[in-house]
Structure 1
Amino acid sequence: MREISDERTDGLFALASQQDSKSRQKIRSQRTDDSNRGKINLLPITLICDGIKDAKIMGDVLKVALSSGCQQVYVMEGCVNIWNSSVLKRAAAAHFKIPILPNQQWENMEKLVSHEFPQSVFLSHGGENGSTINDFTNDPEVTRIGKNSGVIETIKRESSVEFNSDEDILVKGHIPPINLDEVVWPKKTNILIVGDITFGAFSFAVKLQNRGANCRVIKLPLSVNGDMLTPTIEVSVLLFDA
């Protein structure tokens, strides 16, 4: 026990398999059955965790996702390992009761959600006026896009063909804000992105917005402007509001 544990142990250990596509489907089926029997209430919400590097916060977020009835959780590359011992302890068995897909990349997310296109995409926080590419000027990809934008404008001026590149869409993209008390959660598929919102999350949301999804940055009613809440608090408020 001492050899396989951290500094302290509760006197128990277990061997368990990590989730794969087969076990995730089994979890989905069980939760659907429980929902049909009225045992649990499932929300039509997929949670995406972005830039969460603190293990305890990640564990708490997964626990809230399970408790509130989220459909599933995507954990983006760059987040803390969901099998970190601190995540496991704080998540309180969420790893085995809700579908979790770790180590995802933003460039693949649009394809992953395409089988059930989301009606709405919500970002848990952003600027006072929503979110634009200018909020991510330190991101190397944004720097590269900035250098290319002049070339794109030249091509558009000199071409008689309508020209809309992904980069052009991102440069012009704007995700408007919405107050928490104005949010209407559709009864079909929704996506909620929480954590340290990165350019990848913005890019994903703008591309879905361009395809017809309703995308908004949710503004929580804070008494002090500029205050930031932890992802745990944000996800708790937003999911239980839904």
Structure 2
Amino acid sequence: MKSGLRHQLAEKMAGEITLSDSPGKALKKWRMSFAIPQATLSEHLDVSPSVISDYESGRRKSPGTAVVGKIVDSILSIDEANGGKYTKKFAKLLYSDFDDDVIYDMHDYPTPVPLQAFAQAIGCTTLCGSLDLSIFGYTVINSINAITQLSSNEFNRIYGWSTERALIFTDVSSGKSPMVAIRVTPFKPRCVVLQGIEPAGVHPLVPKMAEKDRITVLCTMTDIDRIISVLREEPW
């Protein structure tokens, strides 16, 4: 990966952690986004796993900018040693330029948001999966345009800075097409929201596909503009 892109990504990560009201939670978000176990990160930093755990839980004083820089560098180095899968993915997002007829809205949270509260805010009904989870962002997607216009690599970019997010597909007819698209791509969201359809109208294959990928699926009849307005106003 080019050093310039790596540097920009490192700045993005370190800035979010340092400026967050909960630096430990932001640190945990990034570690998990790169699928790096605490033990692996602590070994690379030559510290006890309890040090990372204490930072993330808030038991230890928030790390300063120098320590955050070392942690971010370690996360990127570990990923690059494993082929750079996540580093390449997140670096591409620095230049994401989706058309507004594909992505209606995209936002990432610096700290986890309870899925239960998120679902209630936009009037969701649970189709399958658990609400006892947290997300780090959401993307509101025109389901038809996304499926017909985006390549597989472009589709992966709808995940923003974290796959632990809710993908809200608008104006779905049965919910099958978005789930099929997700099935054939490497990244999986924490939650899928099907907008414009009641649970009874969802294709019977949807919960079966969701179960295989451990995805919570919700339905909402709330208007798209209302969803975007509500989510932008929430103080998460």
* TM-score, normalised relative to structure 1: 0.29
Q: Which has the higher contact order (CA 8 A, sep 6+)?
A: 1
Name which one, 1 or 2, has greater alpha-carbon Rg: 1
